[in-house]
Each structure stands twice: as C-alpha cells, then as structure tokens.
Amino acid sequence: MGYSVELLFDKVSEEKIRSYWKLLYEQGGGDFMHLKGGRPHISLAVYYSEMEDIKKLREVVQSIFSEVKKFELIFNSIGVFPGEERVTFLCPKPSVRLLSIQSALYNEIRRQGIRKYYWGHYKPKIWVPHCTMILNNEIDMHIKGMEILSRDFETMEVIVERVALVEFYPFNTILEMGLL
C-alpha cells in the first residue's frame, strides 16, 4: 500500500494506453497494469503506506494544482528501470512545464514537512517521468512485453487534464481535480 500524486490524461490517450495494457496482457507480455493498474498516469510523488498526514498532502495538491493549466506531453520512447521491480514504461519528451510542476510539488511537500516515507526516486534531481506499462513480471514475460511494445508502440501526444491523489493497491481515489 502507498499513496501517489498522479497526472491523468485525456480520455482518448487514456484509452490508447489501456489498449497497450490489454495487448500486453493478451499476448503474454505483462498482466499487472491491465488487471490492477488503475488509470494511465505519471506519478509526481509517491509515499509508503506509513505516511500519516494524508490530509495535509491533499491540501498541498489542491493548493499547487488550483492554478495549473492543462498541457500537452509527447510520449516518444520506451524505457526500463532494471532490478527486481522490472518496470517498463512510456517516456514523455522532457518539458520545462512538467519538471517545474513536479519540482513545485516537491518543494511544497518539503515546506509543509511531509517528507517522511516519501519515495526517494521522486526527488526532483532523481525523478524520471514515466507511464508504467509492465510491472514486476517474471523476466521472460517482461522481455516478451518489451518486444511487443517496441513493435507496436507509436509516438503519441497526450493532454494532461487532471491530477489525482490515490491510495494504491487496490486503487482508491482520495482526490481528483481538473486542471484549468
């Protein structure tokens, strides 16, 4: 269990990413995201379940995102986080807007003193923006999934329309709000 602050996409883009999740599932290239992945997203901040001040985090999200406008991202490549977790993901083309939003969120989290139980991979100088496609499958299944994605993935533009604060697994939306 844990908590995350997630950027959500327009309906068409969300459905396209879900179709990739379904393809991976149907062709034996990864099942987690299709079965339990929640909504397609980019996580900006993640906490372990021990995080106690969800109310304060909710207030930070509302404050930071009350003035954020919708924006476009382009997913133009596929990446991998190696190791036991084995995550394969879609990479957005880096943008100043995306990086500054994530940095502003992290800085406010620090200012509010809710850094305890924060996942270190989400600190601004370390964070790699990504949309998870394959997670925690056995290596053979994971390699097959990477082959499927490298064959079928096409560059896609998405509109970031919403932000959510969610509890995961299973997914439970604590807060969701539209961007301007």
The tens-digit pLDDT sequence of the chain (180 residues) is: 899 999 999 999 999 999 999 999 999 999 999 999 899 999 999 999 999 899 999 999 999 999 999 999 999 999 999 888 889 999 999 899 999 999 999 999 999 999 899 999 999 999 999 999 999 889 999 999 999 999 999 999 999 999 999 999 889 999 999 999
- CA neighbor of 146 nearest in space, from 129, 133, 159, 157: 133
Per CATH, is 2-178 categorized as 3.50.50.60? no
pLDDT of 123 = 94
122: three-class secondary structure by DSSP: helix
- Rounded Cα distance, 8 and 15, in Å: 12
Q: pLDDT of 6-48, one tens digit each?
A: 999 999 999 999 999 999 999 999 999 999 989 999 999 999 9
Phi and psi angles of residue 177, each rounded to the nearest 5 degrees, phi first: -140, 145
Asked if 65 contacts 177 with a C-beta cutoff of 8 angstroms, the reply is yes
In the chain, what are the domain boundaries? 2-178
- CA neighbor of 130 nearest in space, from 61, 64, 75, 65: 75
